[in-house]
Structure 1
Amino acid sequence: MIELDDIDRGLIRALARDAAQSASALGRRFDLSQPATWRRIRRLEQAGVIRGRQLRLDAEKLGFGVTVFLGVKLALKGRVSLEDFERAVVAIPEVQSVEHILGLYDYRLRVVARDVADFERVLRRRIMTLPGAGEVEANVLLSEERLPGPL
């Protein structure tokens, strides 16, 4: 585990709010030079504390008005490897996240679609044809109050 000081924590919080900030702007905020700020950020990246920077898009403005969380139970555990299912499901562009979970279902998927009819097409033609796909439960997202942020 890497030792983090108050400046490291501040940089992480600032980048979590806006990952596009420049090292020079962050340096001014934390009273560091641009090179010193960049070295700290690189150290956090190399240690795996910062795993990447993401661009957040508004799915609705891009025409994807429906988000559905799917619980997927594999039908043929043992005959189909988890890797085969995972490899196939991540290739579906409408599937935004794949989480292997413990509980009633084996996987939780976040799926976006243009509308309910488009979601039904994705479900029938893509998800239900995956190797090992069995029981599925769908939950439609009504609203999202908290977006992912710092721990």
Structure 2
Amino acid sequence: MIALDEIDRRLLGMLVQDAGQSAGALGRRVGLSQPATWRRLRRLREAGILRGQRLRLEPGKLGFGVTVFLGVKLSRKAGVSLEAFERAVSGIPEVQRVEHVLGLYDYRLRVIARDLADFERVLRRRIMTLPGIGDVEANVLLTEERFPGPL
């Protein structure tokens, strides 16, 4: 782990807001030259703190009006490995996130759909046919009040 100074933290904060900013633009905002900023960014990448850039799409504006969080408990009788389930569920485009969790369920899935009828189709035809699927609990997202920060 590398030590981060105040400039590193400011750079990370600005990149969280807009990861597409150039090193020159970032440097002007923190009082560094473009090459000095570029070297800091390269150091952060090499340390594994910065990992790529992401584009955040707005699902609702793309026609996906429903987000559902699924708690999935695998059937112990089926004898399916976690890896087999993860491979299969990762192939479903509507499943945006797969999280292996500790607790009542084995996995937490974030699923998007056009509407509730579309979600039901995805659930019945794709998710419930996965290897090892057991109990499933669905929670429909009503509103998202806080978007994740840098950590």
For residue 141 of structure 1, report the CA deviation from its aligned partner: 0.2
**Runs of 5+ in structure 1 lacking a partner?**
none
User: After superposition, what is the alpha-carbon deviation per residue over 1:59-92, rounded to whole angstroms, capped at 9, x for unaligned?
Assistant: 0000000000000000136711000000111110
Tell me the residue number matched to 2:23: 23
Residues of 2 paired with 1:117 and 1:27: CA distance? 49
Tell me the residue number matched to 1:40: 40
Runs in 1 of length 4+ with deviation above 2 angstroms? none
Name the aligned partner's letter for residue 84 of structure 1. Answer: A
Tell me the residue number matched to 2:14: 14
Tell me the residue number matched to 2:97: 97
Matching of residues 121-132 of structure 1 within 5 Å: 121-132=121-132
**Runs of 5+ in structure 2 lacking a partner?**
none
Tell me the residue number matched to 1:60: 60
What is the number of residues matched between the two proteins?
151
CA contact (8 A) 2:78 2:132 kept: no
For residue 22 of structure 1, report the CA deviation from its aligned partner: 1.0
Matching of residues 63-142 of structure 1 within 5 Å: 63-76=63-76, 79-142=79-142
Percent identity, aligned pairs only, is 75
| RMSD of aligned Cα (Å) | 1.1
What secondary structure, in the 3-state scheme, does the structure 1 residue paired with 2:44 have?
A: helix
